[in-house]
Structure 1
Amino acid sequence: MATTRADGLPFLPGNTFKDPTKSRFHVSNTLGFKNGYALQKRPTVGYGGERLAHNQLSDAELDELAKKMPTLTYGEPKQAPPDTFVPAHLAFDKKVLKFRAYFKETVHESSQEFYRVRPVDIYYYLEDDSISVVEPLVQNSGIPQGKLIKRQRLPKNDQGDNWHWKDLNLAMNVTFYGKVFRLTSCDKFTAEFLESEGLILNGPESVPVDPYTKSRNQPLRSYVTPSDFDKLNKFLKLDRKVLRFYCVWDDRDAMFGEMRPFVLHYFLVDDTVEIREVHEPNDGRDPFPVLLRRQRLPVDRNNVDSSFPMVVLELSDHEVKSWFTASDFAIGRTLFISGRRFLIYDCDKFTQEFYRRNFGISDFTPVPVKGKAKEVPKMELPPYNGFGSLEDSTQNCLSLVPQPPKKDFIKMLENDHKILRYEARLDSMRPEDKGRRFIISYRLSDDMISIFEPPQRNSGIIGGKFLEATRITKPNSDVDKPEFYGPGDLAIGTVIQIFKHRFVITNCDEYVLNMLEAYADHYPASTIDSIREKHGKSTPFKPTDQDKQN
């Protein structure tokens, strides 16, 4: 604790007083540093920052003390003891001289080069006067490089002398094991050490250029980059900000072409473009959403120099003269991208705000794109040639691999085993056909007609199956749209023509009358009346057991 002494009292015990309010007791600093050097200052304050009133010398007193010689007062000083011996391994530990040099290597059996210039670094270790030679590694040089001479004392001549640092200087040749090295330069430490030892260094030299390496060097490409471009700032401001345009691909000039909708995305962070296809339910297209992957898009891909070998090389970023930017997109503008014609007809709210703020555009009226579609050519079927059924011939034209014609299964299930039987005679001028009797069976399930002729004794005609079940067309009907015989056409007394044979309906069974009366609204009334009249005047037709079997 600091003490104070009252004025006028002798400096004796009991005449000092402690200051009870004192709270600082640190020692003031008298050592400072300037430019890396320590500087001492005279103490002006004591403990706790108190001002010292004693031991303050004036400048005159300091000058007198500086001029005062201590030998006059104290006599000659004693001679200082000699410095202790420091060994070389301690004095020169980790002190290495570094020289840059090169040597020339002769190349045999080569028409392109005669010698190589190989630069090396020569390290001289002051600790034990050893030397090592190291060649810097060059990628893909094809030459064994690295440490050429490991650390050792190198012989200078045949008398047993070794190379010493006093023998080394710039712009001179040194021979290590028969190989001549030319010293060209050294580092700063080496130059200061040799100059401190009184050795005058020669001027530095440059390493000559290898002629073969120089011939293989290609001029560097020049890049012009705006000075105010900040890629990081652009990423932080425009990341995840995308302009969205709605466009259509007008492909109506091609066969079966149409207006296909797409969405064009323009990424502001790196000026790339992406085109996605808009799919609709049951549009019949493969689900490939991306038409053009995200990439920088050239305005005109074919606008390149005529000297560019497009046969063997692909276009790179250096050959493209201009790229699509945000100023190239606008509503109502047509873009030609990869040979396709895209019409921009609308954009989203964020895109409108971006163009309103940066380009001053205020009109964003959508362009109507739902125009008249192109008429698709109608596929016409060739005329029927008469071979096979009409349905089979149509299936051959509808598909490459013909499929069987579709059947009306509901009709087949409802009318299964329902057969209408009629009795008929052959209308012919030949006398042998006068007494021939036929049974016509009409299947309601598939509208097919079969004809059976019952055998008659001593008629000279073999009876049996006259016609397989088939659909019979009416005479003089259209070949492409034929009309077939139905139950409404088979009235009593009606003449039907089947494959150039004329048959006259003479009778029918009672099941035919019941069937037609049950569905009277589907068949002509004249047909039903003819059957009723026939059944009312004569005995209804009853097929024999042999007719039922057939």
Structure 2
Amino acid sequence: MYKPMHGLPFLPGTSFKDPTKTAFHRSQTLDYRNGYAVFRRPTVGIGGDRLSVSELSQSDLDEVATKTPQLTYGEARRPPPAQFVPAHVAFDKKVLKFSAYFQEDVPMSTEEHYRIRQVNIYYYLEDDSMSVMEPIVENSGIPQGKLIKRQQLPKNDQGDHYHWKDLNRGISITIYGKTFHIVDCDQFTKVFLESQGIKLNPPETMVPDPYTELRKQPLRKYVTPTDFDPLKQFLTFDKQVLRFYAIWDDTDSMFGECRNYIIHYYLMDDTVDIREVHERNDGRDPFPLLMNRQRIPKVLVDNGKNFPQCVLEISDQEVLEWYTAKDFIVGKPVTILGRTFFIYDCDAFTRQYYKEQLGFPDLPRIDVSKKEPPPIKQELPPYNGYGLIEDSAQNCFVLVPKAPKKDSMKMLLNDNKVLRYLAALESPNPEDKNRRFIFSYFLATDMISIFEPPVRNSGILGGKYLGRTKIAKPLSSVEDPVYYSPSDFFIGAVIEVFGHRFIILDTDEYVLKYMESNAAQYSPEALTSVQNHFRKQEDAVPELEKKQTEEATGVQELEALIEAVQKQHKDHPCKDAIRHMFQMNDKEASGFVNKETFFKICGLLNIPTDDSLIKELIQMCSHGDDKIAYFNFLRAFSN
């Protein structure tokens, strides 16, 4: 029978071939995936032997993946220089703005002899063009706006054009016969010119227009002969409109609803119009007006109720009182043509008008929005314990359930990556004290499987203890479960699996490498516990090797002694009787007999116990003071 010699140096004469080994083939390194031949790293050595270490370390793999093949493809090309950016791109939408004015003569007027017109000069940096714009003044009677359209303006008769270097504060420029005096510029223009090294003159104040200042003086007051003048009301309140936001609540009637409206009250002639607020896709015809602009009667005369309004318009003779601005108050209803509107808000101008003209304080906004009932929270039914929680929840979301989405990128990156741990069962039963379990954590799917190695004569079958599944932590909820992750596994950690508690005792070296390469996922205590565990194992290796060396030396001496006894007593006549006698006296088949019985048998079979070799063999087979192991002794007297 071949037995390897452990602990011998690998030198000529001390290495032995295994005569029982018949397989010397190499593992397959090529594979087909999707119809293409790809490289596959061998998982076993020659003849199916286990690989002691990986051929390439992680650092070597990283270097191979990132190293540029310069010997094959040459040096990498340098990136091209930065592209040239033209001026029309660099200065796109960048405009210099100057405030200026020019003087215009008014020959045929007794009130003014000249007019000051204020303009803005724009200089476009992208193409050196300029334009002159005059702000529009309402009711000025002068064509204003764009005085000079955008173009390159001539500077002199030699064909030169104005450049931004020619512009500054406090100077005058002549454009098409008109002299513009620049008084100031904006902040962007100031920063740009100073960045180009141009020293700006101090800003000047804009010269006012004498006639405009004259118009600002208070007019002479005249007493009108009547208390109310429609023309004065028209001129005073022209384009002044009060805006109110109202609702018409018709929910009490059948098929009624609450709709929003805007009421406009025109101060110039005391007319009212009502506009309906339309929302997008509300299913209604887009008519802008519910009621055209008109005066609304508030109190009619006695015979006004029978007045044929559908044929004739109501005049002042049929109305005692009309609706005025005082009848529209925020927070109060108003009935217009038989429909009651509730006013809940108004605009800022209306608030200011009521405060200054009618003496009302700030009108508050009333919240008329109806609060919607809170949405019904969809709760998942209790978990029944079959399958994963995500798979069971899909039956509650859609009628035809679909499989939960998987992280494909994570599965590709972590394919065939498994973390293995050795754990013990924490149980009060003494039968479970020596049970050991192997936890396998699959990084691609975050699933865990548990395997119990079978032990002979233990009374426990062993094998698969738990198939691949996700294990939730004890305190996590069913709606949002928190599953165990690799950071929860370390030496001494307690893992609770469906009511059973396991204690992690040991890991393999791949787990240590994975934890060191992904140290951010683990706590410092977890990483330290695994590192200290492997450091203790490394310290225990020399002592184990020493013990194995001593045992190997004793085995060699025993084998040599048995071989010498066999040569000396090869012709002993009672070889078969020796084995039979020892087995008869060892009724328990323990392999041991006491010394008295041993020497009695040797005396009956004429075995020379006083021989030096046999004395040494008996001493090596002795266990304790009164027992001798007769197995090796029988080998010396058998074939």
State TM-score, norm by structure 2: 0.31
- When Rg is computed on C-alpha atoms for both structures, the one with the higher figure is 1
* Larger helix fraction of residues: 2
State TM-score, norm by structure 1: 0.35
